[in-house]
Chains A and B, each alone.
Chain A
Amino acid sequence: MTQVFYYVFTLIFFLFDYFILAMGLNIQYGETGILNFAYIGFVAIGAYVTGAVSLPNSVGTGQHYILGLNMPFPFNLLIGGLTASAFAVLVALISLRRLRTDYLAMVLISLSLVLYDICNNFVPLFNGADGLYNVPAPLAGVLHLTTNSFIPVIALVTGVIAMFLWWVMSRITQSPLGRTFRAIRDDETVAAALGKNVFRKQLTSMLIGSFYAGIGGGLIIQFGGSFNPSAWLPGETFVVFAVIIVGGVGNNVGLLMGSLLVETLLVHLPAFLPAIPGHPGLIEYIDAMLIGVLLMVMLWFRPQGVVPERVRKSTVIDKLLLNSNGASAVGESLHDEEATSVSQ
């Protein structure tokens, strides 16, 4: 019974964590139109940095990493997110300015592989292929948690962070900045002709999205206490793409749905199935195939996702304005005919 209880919280953790990751990729791909195939690399940076700054001095643990600051939660997480952001801006500065979509995709996927290669081989950075382990559990000391009772707590904490980040993201997507992002996604040339500094806005979008990637990654290492290169092979980026495309590009509720369908139900639930005897890992492989197939089927039959992007209606603002200015109501009836007569 308790086993099931912890499984459920593990699923809840991943639901919220991938919701965070999906929001980050969505602002880049769904809102701004940047095809970031290196996304998982930024997640990894967040995870490693969060882990590295939370670990105590390396003496005795046998691990190699840069700092040993033993930083407490949530500052470690924040540092992880900010580092991922800073790195994303650096990458964008080099690659985003004049590359067409497919060049950019090639460069970013290459970057993702190179980061993987370096982290896997360069031991002094993040302990090479072994990765970081024994990362202190957040709040464990404060709340006197055991290995098991820790799981519901971190799931809850992640849920709270996800809700907060959802609120932040809604503020951004509903703001003029979010609108400008979508204008760039729809037509860069028009956005530029309207006086928008497209490159700078793309940088901003990369910065925001990668911060989310970093936080999501940081939470993963806090949850598991360890993180190594095999957790973030470039194909993992695709899982996040699957989450946002299945759920609904450009809609935060859709992203939560996508995280539930893809990450929770497809990726993690089958992990608890007993292995098929004689075929270790087969379930995971089939699982990954299913994600690929699901994404293609969705793209073909329902490209807008389970919960499509909302039409941002003017009614709310309109009501506010109508109170101060009655002219709009008169205008509506007058202009209805005109608008239809224009159709040709």
Chain B
Amino acid sequence: MSVNDVTTNEVANAALSCEGIVKSFQGVVAVNGASFSVPEGQITALIGPNGAGKTTVVNILSGSMKSDGGTEHIGSTDVSNWESYQIARMGLMRTFQLSRELGGLTVLENLLVAPKTQSGESLFNIFFRPGKTKREEHANTQRALDVLQTYGLYALRDNRARELSGGQKKLLEISRAVMAEPKILLLDEPMAGVNPALIEKIGGYILDLKAKGVTILMVEHNLNVVEKICDHVIVLAEGRTLATGRLSELRENKEVVRAYLGEVIDASSAR
């Protein structure tokens, strides 16, 4: 199935969709009716100039922030204004633009927090079903160590997360989300403040996740990266969805260029 098929059928295959999301902060409108859908099993980029409301949209979709209006669906389930943890349990995981590591925990523990249902999180199980808890913990630890190996953090597993470098925190952020086995992954600027070598590497990780069937929506303003790894692009400007499609098409789209460089001042060329 080609990318074009997906875009034409996107409603049918949408893993995540939103309609008319509105959010303002003290009278200043940040998101103004954003609507789009994220095709299943693809990598979708969410791009747009500063102040377009990209991060706010991610916050609303992941439940970290309540919207003022609009609806959100994961698959066919209406999850509008659900709590953050409920959305996470639907299989949607997110990362944060500025890495938010759990600083007092070790790298390994950061990952071990992630699995959604752990019987060891219940007081009853800790004392009355220790066997089950222990087996689960061992399986999770094994998997966490595997994930850490994949993301090159294995050697740092016993370091406190707050001691990591900026780039390592970025990787931790992604591996922690992966540990939760997401169906949908929201990446908020995974490449921001990252050196070129690591950008290359993270790009590879994201493609691997796609190969495993994870649906990905990533906010990204490095368009080289978008071009290389994203199947589908959503352009957000002034809190609204401006255009969707492939990056090569969008580059020729006057409105998109305008959103990035400013409105074309010459009235004749401005449609």
Interface positions of A (Cβ within 8 A of B): 168, 171-172, 175-177, 179-180, 182-183, 185-187, 189-198, 201, 204, 208, 250, 309, 311-315, 317-318, 320-321, 325, 327-328, 331-332, 334-336, 338-344
**Complex alpha-carbon distance, A189 and B152, angstroms:** 26
- Which residue on chain A has the smallest CB distance to residue B95? A193
From B14-22, B26-34, B120-128, B206-214, the one touching the partner chain is B120-128
Could you show 27 A-B contacts with beta carbons less than 8 Å apart? A177-B122, A179-B105, A183-B105, A186-B101, A190-B102, A191-B102, A191-B113, A192-B63, A192-B84, A192-B85, A193-B64, A193-B93, A193-B94, A195-B116, A197-B83, A250-B104, A312-B105, A317-B141, A327-B149, A331-B145, A335-B148, A335-B149, A335-B154, A339-B153, A342-B167, A342-B171, A342-B201
B167 with A177: CB separation less than 8 A: no
**Can you list, as one digit per residue, whether each of B51-74 has a CB less than 8 Å from chain A (1) or not (0)?**
000000000001110000000000
Contact between B120 and A309, CB atoms less than 8 A apart: no
Report whether A317 and B138 are in contact in the complex, using a CB–CB cutoff of 8 Å: yes
The one of B83, B108, B113, B166 that contacts A314, using a Cβ cutoff of 8 Å? B108
- Taking the nearest CB of chain A, how far is it from the CB of B123, in angstroms? 6
With A171-B126, A344-B195: A187-B100 Cβ-Cβ less than 8 Å: yes
Cβ B145 vs Cβ A321 within 8 A = yes
Tell me if B221 counts as interface (CB < 8 A to partner A).
Answer: no
Q: Smallest CB-CB separation from A188: which chain B residue?
A: B84
Q: Mark B65-100, 1 if CB is under 8 A from A, else 0.
A: 000000000000000000111001100011010001
Most chain B beta carbons < 10 A, residue from A309, A312, A325, A327: A312
Complexed CA–CA distance, A335 and B113 (Å): 22
Determine whether B13 belongs to the interface, using a CB cutoff of 8 Å to chain A. no
Contacts A193-B88, A342-B167 hold; do A315 and B138 have CB atoms under 8 A apart? no
Total residue contacts A-B, CB cutoff 8 A: 157
Cα–Cα distance between A198 and B84 once the two chains are bound (Å): 10
Besides the known contacts A183-B113, A187-B103, A193-B62, 5 further A-B residue pairs in the complex with CB atoms under 8 A apart: A182-B105, A193-B63, A193-B84, A311-B160, A335-B149
The answer to whether A331 touches B100, judged by C-beta atoms less than 8 angstroms apart, is no
CB-CB nearest in chain B for A330 = B149
Question: Does B180 lie at the interface of the complex (its beta carbon under 8 Å from any beta carbon of A)?
Answer: yes
- Distance (Å) between the CB of B60 and the closest chain A CB? 13
Q: Which residues on B sit within 8 Å (CB–CB) of A343?
A: 165, 167-168
Q: Determine whether the beta carbon of B106 is less than 8 Å from that of A194.
A: no
Write the nearest CB–CB distance from B63 to chain A, whole angstroms. 8
CB-defined contacts of A250 to chain B, threshold 8 Å = 104
**CB-CB < 8 A to B141: which residues of A?**
314, 317, 321
- Shortest CB–CB separation between residue B103 and chain A, in angstroms? 5
Q: Which residues of A contact B122 (CB under 8 A)?
A: 177
Question: Does B156 reach chain A (CB closer than 8 Å)?
Answer: yes
Interface contact B100-A311, CB-CB below 8 Å: no
The 8 Å CB contact of A197, one of B85, B103, B133, B153, is B85
CB-based contact A344/B167 at 8 Å: yes
Tell me, in angstroms, the Cα distance from A194 to B109 when the chains sit together.
Answer: 13
Q: What is the CA–CA distance of A196 and B120 in the complex, to the nearest angstrom?
A: 13
Of B104, B137, B180, the contact of A185 (CB 8 Å cutoff): B104
Please name all residues of chain B whose beta carbon is closer than 8 Å to the beta carbon of A336 when the two chains form the complex. 154-155
Point out the residue from B93, B133, B149, B166 that lies within 8 Å of A175, measured CB to CB: B133
